Amino acid sequence: MSSSSLTLVVFTLALAFATLSHQCHGGEVPLQVGYYRGKCRLADVEAIVGGVVKAWYKRDPTIPAALLRMQFHDCFVNGCDASILLDGSSSEKTAVPNLSVRGYEIIDAAKSAVEAICPGVVSCADIIVMATRDAVALGGGGRYIVQTGRRDGTVSLAKNVDLPSPSISVSDSIKAFARKGLNATDMVYLLGGHTVGVTHCSLIMDRLYNFQNTGKPDPTMDSSLLAALRQRCPRNASVDSSVDLDQNPLSSMIVDNSYYRQIVRNRGILKFDQDLALDPLSKPTVGAIANGFDFSTRFGQAMIKLGTVDVLTGKQGQIRSSCRAINKPSK
């Protein structure tokens, strides 16, 4: 199968993988493939969530990027506990890096669908992971098998949001991922989410016109890309236009390895993306992905691993009735 194919692939995982070990906040109950099987009578929870996501995707094919970003921003702060979904004047949603996170309505819709059939059983944290998997598959990536059994967190504070900065170095990014139990290879694959991502002109103007206060563009940028971006992002523009992180127009909406093929040709949009292809710590992995044929499989594996970061299981946390608010104490 070509890496840009829209064919959905279902990976067969060994039974041992069904209970992949995970980091947690002191819990001993492992995540499982098919955790909800039999817990909602005959209802297939994953199919219900998948149906909601498919309906949204038909209206908005950009949701793979939105949900990939949501899961990353949730799991990287306080673990995969759906704390990013909680409303509040000082919740994680209000932190600057999260102001542009979107897709909350998709999670709300999926939650409403499962609550109507199986109230009080399915966590919002699991819905994020299931919905993201479904969106990735709809966007042309492989359909990886998700583990479930997470519980929802009850704390969401903007001050806890400490996501890697766009200006971070590759070495510091590797350290940040390592603190979450993710290695350098995991990091490079997870950044493959940029294959369907976008940024805005305001975040790359320095690379186009005044790189590191030299008065010149970033010398690592491909000259034809530079010319095209300067047309899209002129100085003193009144509109902050969007820019695809994957500059292959045939692939910018497909979850594939095209992003890596672009950055090895010095066609990275963000400085960090270009650094990823140039830094000796990540260059070999980037090159292997760009020239390989197993991106869908390896990306799925990295997403599964991301979904195990600091999860709540067993009797920890709660199963929220609404993903936007913690449950009210019972009287």
Give the dihedral of Cα atoms 114, 119, 125, 129; nearest 10 deg.
Answer: -20
Cα–Cα dist 172/112, whole Å: 40
Look-up of token digits 């067969």: 12
Amino acid in the structure at residue 20: L
Cα–Cα dist 320/154, whole Å: 9
Q: Which helix (H) or strand (E) holds 261?
A: helix 258-263
Active site residue 200: no
Selecting among 25, 73, 194, 200, the annotated active-site residue is: 73
Alpha helices (runs of H) in 118-200, residue ranges in sequence order: 124-138, 170-178, 184-190
Q: 36-42 contacts: CB < 8 A, separation 24 or more?
A: 36/118, 36/121, 36/122, 36/126, 36/148, 39/118, 39/121, 40/114, 40/117, 40/118, 40/121, 40/122, 41/118
Cα–Cα dist 10/257, whole Å: 18
**Does residue 314 come out as left (phi exceeding 0), alpha (psi in the -120 to 50 range) or beta?**
left
Backbone angles phi, psi at 60, to 5 degrees: -145, 95
Cα–Cα dist 176/173, whole Å: 5
Cα–Cα dist 322/283, whole Å: 43
Cα–Cα dist 134/56, whole Å: 11
259 contacts 277 by C-beta, under 8 angstroms: no
Active site residues: 73
